[in-house]
Amino acid sequence: MAQLPVIDLTQSYTADEFEQLPESVGRYELRDGGLVEKPMPGYEHSWIALLLIKLYLEFDPKMKLGTMLQEASTKLGPKNVPQPDLSFWRANNRPSPHTKGAGPRPDLAIEIWSPSDLESAPALQEVRNKVRRYLAAGVPLVWAISPANQVVEVYHIGQLEPILFGITETLEGENIIPGFSFSVKNLFMEESDLEEIN
């Protein structure tokens, strides 16, 4: 039986070195040069990601405005290669479908918070720090989705606090995805309610 490659979790890596690691080592992001394991998403997490991509493709079926992908590695600097839960690149910034390794900085990063992200103050601080790293790297718009609270936190560069959107409100793509909007409640629908999406 072949052995899985062993990696040194204490070693510091550059983005280029990180991209040379074999895929079989597991699901890791590069954060300030260190390897950080990315948990496997649960069903609810994956369902919300699917709904978001569905909403976008119904709005822009030929992807003329840009591309939305799930868990694609993005290079945010020489020592940071995160995998946002979803990323959107505008048409003038999107990588080729044949891009090897990490794509460029996205125009919109989307994180879907799991219950474990909210179970303690340190855990919540860490996921908020991840949002701040996106903004510091120049990602202009970040959505942080909390299924537990049915709220979306919207962050912009230069803005100290997020804007909160609840299930009765409408989320917009702003100048990143002009014209794209949907009710926040659509992110938390059951499969039986799909016909009601608007």
The chain-wide mean pLDDT, for the chain, equals 89
Q: Which residues neighbour 138 within 8 Å (Cβ) at sequence distance 6 or greater?
A: 76, 105, 157
Segment 72-122, tens digit of pLDDT: 999 999 999 999 999 999 999 998 888 878 889 999 999 999 877 777 888
Rounded percentage of the chain residues whose pLDDT exceeds 70: 92
Q: Which residues neighbour 15 within 8 Å (Cβ) at sequence distance 6 or greater?
A: 30, 75, 77, 78, 79, 80, 81, 102
What distance in Å separates the CA atoms of residue 88 and residue 85, rounded to the nearest whole number?
A: 10
Closest CA to 59 of 149, 192, 173, 152: 173
User: How far, rounded to the nearest angstrom, does the alpha carbon of residue 166 sit from its chain's CA centroid?
Assistant: 19
pLDDT of res. 106: 97
Instruction: Report, in this order, helix, strand and coil percent for the chain, each rounded to 5.
Output: 30, 25, 45
pLDDT of res. 24: 64
Quickly state the pLDDT bin for 8 (edges 50, 70, 90). Answer: confident
Mean pLDDT calculated for residue range 148-169: 94
Contact 52, 32 (CB under 8 A): no
Length of the chain: 198
Q: Angle at Cα 135 formed by Cα 161 and Cα 75, nearest 5°? A: 155
Q: Give 183's strand partners.
A: 170
Q: Give 81's strand partners.
A: 30
CATH topology of domain 43-196: tt1808, chain A (3.90.1570)
- With a cut of 70, say whether residue 19 has pLDDT above it: yes
Q: Is the dihedral of CA 70, 154, 170, 186 positive or negative?
A: positive
Return the DSSP state at 146: E
